[in-house]
Structure 1
Amino acid sequence: MSTNEVRVNTRRLAPAAPGARVTRLELFYDLVFVFAFINVTTASAKTLREGGVLGSLLVLALLWSAWTGFATLGNVIRADRGIMPLFGFATMAVIFVASVSLPEAFTDKPPGLPGDLVFVGCYLVVRNLQLLAFWYALRNDPRLRPRWHRIAVPPLVTVSLLLLAALVPHRLFDGDAEAAVRAGLWVLAIAVAFGMTQQTRFQGLTVVSAGHWAERHAQIVLIALGESIISLGLGPGLDTGLPLTWPIIGAATLGIVVIAALWWIYFDSRAIAGERALHRVHGPARIALARDAYTYLHLPMIAGTILFALGLKRVLAEIGDPTGIGLHERVDRLDAIVLYGGVGLYLLAVLGFQYRTVHRVSRLQMVSVAVLFALIPLATALPAFGALALLAVVIVLVATVDSVRYRHHRRLLRQEKFDEERALEAGETEWRRRYLEQQHTPREDHPPEAAVAP
């Protein structure tokens, strides 16, 4: 889309350009989501058997819906110009408070403020800030003004359902029935947030910069993988005072191997191919591809990475057990499910992304995901270190076979990306050279001091 398709208030703002990339301020915004992801993992690790994983995934889905509002706004107007940074900083503060409330966001536990209501209130404020930012930026476009009341409906419905989940179930139900009703209301709220919101958010708009959209989502995947590394470093510290041992060093190395393989599977070529596919389409087709491949399919990538980080944290705690019991006993069944299931969900989402962008997925790739899930029963028969080692071997084999089998296509794709980057760097260097020369060239009305007679 050209920037004149949407009438941005250019008096104090700068519309995004088709070649726009992610700004540093947007990266700064994402720092608060690092903290949110860490809290999601921490809360799940403490309540794994009390439905903590389900609750954390539901909270993660709502955080994701808030983050996609960031991405959409930054794709229409530059996030670092005019008044937009103020909206961003305010949103960061609210997201931080919501992240602090995450351990009690799904089920409140006294004492203290009601965490579920705090989270709902923060979610409401974030969505209102995003709506206000869109209104301020695009209020001069006559096509969009009549649609603001429709854009505001999905967040209102979502918040209403979340309020019902926080206030009603514990008054009418007990035990499992209360948890089931609460979870059902959350699922319905998330369905509204993703279904109705995505249908109305881009009405009258499109994805201005395919590069910005793809890069923005790739960086949030990097944040999730970084959270796995943080879990790797903090895992043995779940119990204070654990000594550094060879099993912990070996397990940490295996964890890095798995994380590196997950990075390779997505970023080596699929992320490049996805961005290329987004560049090739325009209008409604680009909107649909951006929604399906990025807004929808990147969420299970993030969820899978968070689940893997959770499993990694718990497995490392078992391996670091000072009594040595964790090195010999079988890994906990739920820990194995979370560890392998998280990686499997990530791979499944990556293959879904590949199919939606390039319309091609091989049987071997699907078999590799099926094998990973099928190995869960075998993993439960192994000690924690053995289960992690088996996972590392399998995921490295998947990445290696995938790279070797499609090495020709991968080489062409990466060379094309490299040539593009070199061309952009050369263009930027030439522009900077001309700009600096212009700045240092004396103008006729301001001659150099040496040429002025005393």
Structure 2
Amino acid sequence: MGWPAMAEQGDPRRGPRLSGTTRPAGESDRPTTFELFFDLLFVFAATRVTALMAQEHGVHGLLQGLLLLALLWWAWEGYTWLGDRGRAGDGVVRGGMAVASAAVFAVALAVPEAWRDATGGLNGPLVVVGAYALVRAVHLAVDGAVSGAEGDEGAPRRIALSWGTLLAGVPLLVAGALLGGWAQTVLFAGALAVDRAGAHLTARRGGLRVRDVARRSERHGLFVLLALGESAAATAAGAAGRAVSVPLLAGAALGIAVAVCLWWLYFDVVAPAAEHRLVRALGAIRVKMVVEGYTYGHLPIVAGVVVTAFGVQGVLAHAGEGGALGGFHASVLYGGAALYLGGHVLFGGLMHGVLSLPRLLAIGALLAGLPVAIVLPPLAALAGLTLVLVALAAVETARYAEQRRDLREA
């Protein structure tokens, strides 16, 4: 199963400009400040999902949040591929991303009403669907303009297929928004499946290009970093309306310790090692690694960050209480961390062809400890999660000391 592709290198400053105003990205380019601003809006929308999950407070609400997160992730991924065809600071790409930025912010504002419309104002679910469809349509329109000016012969077929799956999925999203409840969940999942099937077919038929591997890796790393920061801030919602107390401060300290561990486990060795591996890959192998490792493999990592933050938020909301944390919050807290580590195992397997034994053992420890966490007080359950993550970080810091040094020198 190959991924037909073209991998281009070189300095884009020596290449032609597209449409007279936009030039393709290259190995020497870094993410522009406008791209960072654009990514921040997507991360903000993604972390707003915690507000939806807190409002619904159940398995269905968790599923709703994950569906919205997946829709946002795939939309953002489209713009990362667009960044390889045209620089975000130039011409039509910047104009399109400016329009998409406003639409993404509209999605973020309406996320808490994505399944349950608030009294008064516009219909929240339809606002989410309309703004999301605009984000996707702008991406395809700009992609078509840039690819056409670049002379990409395979672009018309690829973009036509993408338009077809988008137009097939939007009616499902609209119907779901109008019906609400579980019908909306099923129809949203169907729209996501249709869209992903189209994206898979376009990738399989070739034409994808990866010119700037370091920039691609950096943008995904920055997305994870922004998600960690935004999620840490979002956990403060659990302390809203509560007086400052020793248990509350202890819970906040443990929550930050969890966030630091999640950062450590990604940025200490995993991210630089993956980028180093990607730089050495060429042609179709490089594109396959980007599609599988970054486009697909990073979704559970980001989802794990958001779900874990939601669990920490639940702990802070009950910090100092003597009762048990309960099945829902414990499952979200430990399950979110297990999902995050599972994403790392998947990413490592796709990029390096190996599975991380320490992380698999940590996932096993979290799943085994979940029944205990359910009956523990909130702070004790959070302390247990922190202990597992700190132990994992300590083991890997010692185990990969030589590899870390080699990566720093490289």
TM-score, normalisation: structure 2: 0.91
CA contact (8 A) 2:345 2:356 kept: no
Task: Quote the Cα distance in structure 1 between the aligned partners of 2:270 and 2:278.
Answer: 12
The 5 A counterparts of 1:243-258 are 243-258=243-258
Task: Quote the Cα distance in structure 1 between the aligned partners of 2:314 and 2:279.
Answer: 41
- Structure possessing the higher relative contact order (Cα contacts under 8 Å, 6 or more residues apart): 2
- The residue type equivalent to 1:197 in the other structure is A
1:2 partnered with 2:12: no
Counterpart of 1:443? none
The 5 A counterparts of 1:76-225 are 76-140=85-149, 141=151, 143-147=153-157, 148-167=159-178, 169=179, 179=182, 181-200=183-202, 203-225=206-228
- The residue type equivalent to 1:161 in the other structure is L
Superposed displacement of residue 24, structure 1: 1.0
- The residue type equivalent to 1:384 in the other structure is P
Task: Quote the Cα distance in structure 2 between the aligned partners of 1:214 and 1:348.
Answer: 19
State the identity %. Answer: 35
Superposed displacement of residue 97, structure 1: 0.8
Superposed displacement of residue 183, structure 1: 2.1
CA contact (8 A) 1:102 1:119 kept: yes
Task: Quote the Cα distance in structure 1 between the aligned partners of 2:348 and 2:155.
Answer: 37
From 406, 429, 436, the equivalent of 2:400 is 406
CA contact (8 A) 2:289 2:351 kept: yes
1:299 partnered with 2:308: no
Q: Secondary structure at the match of 2:63?
A: helix
Task: Quote the Cα distance in structure 2 between the aligned partners of 1:109 and 1:228.
Answer: 24
CA contact (8 A) 1:289 1:356 kept: yes
Counterpart of 1:346? 340
Task: Quote the Cα distance in structure 2 between the aligned partners of 1:318 and 1:408.
Answer: 42
Aligned length: 398
Deviations 1:72-131 (A, max 9, x none): 111221100123222111101011111111122234454432222211111211111111
Counterpart of 2:370? 376
Superposed displacement of residue 9, structure 1: 1.8
Change (3 A) 1:364 1:29: closer
1:226 partnered with 2:229: yes
Task: Quote the Cα distance in structure 1 between the aligned partners of 2:295 and 2:85.
Answer: 16
Asked which structure has the greater CA Rg, the reply is 1
Change (3 A) 1:300 1:248: same
Change (3 A) 1:117 1:347: same
RMSD: 2.1
Task: Quote the Cα distance in structure 1 between the aligned partners of 2:25 and 2:9.
Answer: 7
CA contact (8 A) 1:231 1:312 kept: no
- The residue type equivalent to 2:166 in the other structure is P
Structure 2, gaps ≥5 residues long? 1-6
Change (3 A) 1:193 1:356: same
Mean alpha-carbon deviation: is it higher for 32-41 or for 142-151? 142-151
1:60 partnered with 2:69: yes
Structure 1, gaps ≥5 residues long? 171-177, 417-454
- The residue type equivalent to 2:347 in the other structure is F
- The residue type equivalent to 2:362 in the other structure is S
From 359, 365, 377, the equivalent of 1:365 is 359
Change (3 A) 1:413 1:50: closer
CA contact (8 A) 1:94 1:126 kept: yes
Superposed displacement of residue 191, structure 1: 1.8
